[in-house]
A = this chain, B = another copy of it.
Amino acid sequence: MRIEMLCTGNELLDGSVVDTNANWFCERAFVRGAPVARKETLPDDLPVLVEAFRQIGARADFLVVSGGMGPTTDDLTVEAAAQAAGVPLDEDAQVLVDLKRRFAERGFTFTLNNARQARVPRGGQALPNPYGTAPAITLKVGKAECFLLPGVPREFRPLCEEQVIPRLEARLAEEGAARVHKASRVLKCFGIGESMLDDKVKALPQRHPHVEFGFRTHLPENHLKLLATGSTAEEARARLEAAARDALAAVGEKVFGADRDELPEVVLRSLQTRGATLALAESCTGGLVASQLASVPGASHTLVFSAVVYQDRAKTQLLGVDPELVLREGAVSAAVTRALAQAAREKAGATFGLAVTGWAGPGGGTQKDPVGTVYVCLSDGALVVEERQRYPFERDRVRQLAAYLALDLLRRHAQGARS
């Protein structure tokens, strides 16, 4: 089965937008053993799009199209697909009703051009889109089963997940036994470099001949990707599980999660399991740790506050840290970080106090602690754990790494203390 992608939009060819939809879908097709054979990006130009649909319809079995589904005159995907298929466009009464209701619910005015979005090529079918106004559409062009989806990622992705991938899986199942089944998992690590990761798992490929091991740097994380093959889906999955168990044992606590796990969510879950609360004190991260935790729904049950003590005097103003200590030890130091963690914890009456200080650059730094130096400290009242790292990178990466270092210290402690 030949799968292709077509991405449309002038914005993809004038440098204003980096397309991430194609990559997202490609990965999902690939792990199902059906890699995308070709991906084409074209401008908002009707004859060009019609010709592309015709050519793809002559050679591909399955086509995912991204973009050009909006209400304006440069949204040409539906029209182009219809022309290539040689069918007229009909106004779909149900889609029109749904559209008008959606606009009314939000208090938006339904202008005439919005009715364009209710047009469906004859023989095609509108697919419900609860994520936006533009409906998705499926139709046949030549021999290709086509899915026309809006280009906005927050609509493209769930629509793909709900409408396209189940259909792709059904098509692949119809093709039957000849197919090679694949199963994959990404193990997400922090605090371990690619070469060290490689070294830790180097014995595994021999023990798991049907599993490919790959590495990817996804700053500040490092990912270990396992791809297992088998003659049935069950065999591929069993091989994956066996390899994943061995990989976890080899890499140890540097693995913070798998696949869609995100570090802030993993940390919050660990804390919630223990019924613990958290207070933060952040300097160089400037609110990044709090903001990443707060992006997880329900974070307010766990996170009491973050004192973003950006200037030296703020450490005293917000948390009552002794200005003498800051003066003597320096704002970026183990002693001040510890004082901040303890003060945050006490002030909040929280289970944990977590603090991070550092020199993000480009200015700042001392001989002992040059730019890129980061201190993190966690206090639970009885125990204090701390870590110092130096990251020889530019400002934004230092801040990102510092936030991860703080969150990961908390994760390791919360998970360790629980078991």
For this complex, 30 residue pairs linking A to B, each with C-beta atoms less than 8 Å apart, are A14-B27, A14-B35, A15-B30, A16-B214, A16-B216, A16-B225, A18-B23, A37-B43, A38-B42, A38-B43, A38-B48, A282-B287, A286-B287, A286-B299, A286-B306, A287-B288, A287-B294, A290-B310, A291-B291, A294-B308, A295-B395, A297-B363, A298-B363, A300-B310, A303-B310, A304-B313, A305-B310, A314-B348, A317-B348, A318-B347
| A384 at the binding interface (Cβ < 8 Å) | no
Given contacts A14-B35, A16-B214, 16 further A-B contacts (CB under 8 A): A11-B216, A13-B37, A15-B25, A16-B27, A19-B23, A37-B43, A38-B42, A282-B287, A286-B287, A287-B306, A297-B395, A303-B311, A304-B313, A305-B311, A306-B306, A306-B310
Which residue from B31, B35, B43, B299 sits with its C-beta under 8 Å from A13?
A: B35
Type the 1/0 row for A37-55, where 1 means its CB is closer than 8 Å to any CB of B: 1111111000010000000
| Shortest distance from the beta carbon of A3 to any chain B beta carbon, whole Å | 10
Type the 1/0 row for A78-122, where 1 means its CB is closer than 8 Å to any CB of B: 000000000000000000000000000010010100000000000
| A416 at the binding interface (Cβ < 8 Å) | no
B-chain residues with CB within 8 Å of residue A15 when the two chains form the complex:
23-31
B-chain residues with CB within 8 Å of residue A282 when the two chains form the complex:
287
Instruction: Closest B residue to A286 by CB, please name it.
Output: B294
Q: Are B286 and A303 in contact (CB under 8 A)?
A: yes
**Bound complex: CA A20 to CA B19 (Å):** 9
Residues of A near any B CB (own CB < 8 A): 10-20, 22-31, 35-43, 48, 106, 109, 111, 186, 195, 214, 216, 225, 280, 282, 284-291, 293-295, 297-300, 303-311, 313-314, 317-318, 347-348, 361-363, 392, 395-396, 399
Q: Are B39 and A26 in contact (CB under 8 A)?
A: no
**Bound complex: CA A31 to CA B15 (Å):** 9
Interface of A is mostly: mixed
Q: Are B106 and A392 in contact (CB under 8 A)?
A: yes
Q: Are A14 and B26 in contact (CB under 8 A)?
A: yes
Closest 5 CB pairs of A and B: A15-B27, A286-B294, A287-B287, A287-B290, A305-B314
| Shortest distance from the beta carbon of A391 to any chain B beta carbon, whole Å | 11
Most B CB contacts (10 A, CB to CB) among A214, A280, A286 go to: A286
Instruction: Closest B residue to A26 by CB, please name it.
Output: B15
B-chain residues with CB within 8 Å of residue A35 when the two chains form the complex:
10, 13-14, 43
B-chain residues with CB within 8 Å of residue A309 when the two chains form the complex:
305
**Bound complex: CA A11 to CA B27 (Å):** 10
Q: Are B308 and A287 in contact (CB under 8 A)?
A: yes
B-chain residues with CB within 8 Å of residue A294 when the two chains form the complex:
284-288, 308, 310, 399
Which residue from B18, B109, B304, B395 sits with its C-beta under 8 Å from A20?
A: B18
B-chain residues with CB within 8 Å of residue A361 when the two chains form the complex:
297
| Shortest distance from the beta carbon of A15 to any chain B beta carbon, whole Å | 2
B-chain residues with CB within 8 Å of residue A299 when the two chains form the complex:
286, 310
B-chain residues with CB within 8 Å of residue A23 when the two chains form the complex:
12, 15, 17-19
| Shortest distance from the beta carbon of A17 to any chain B beta carbon, whole Å | 7
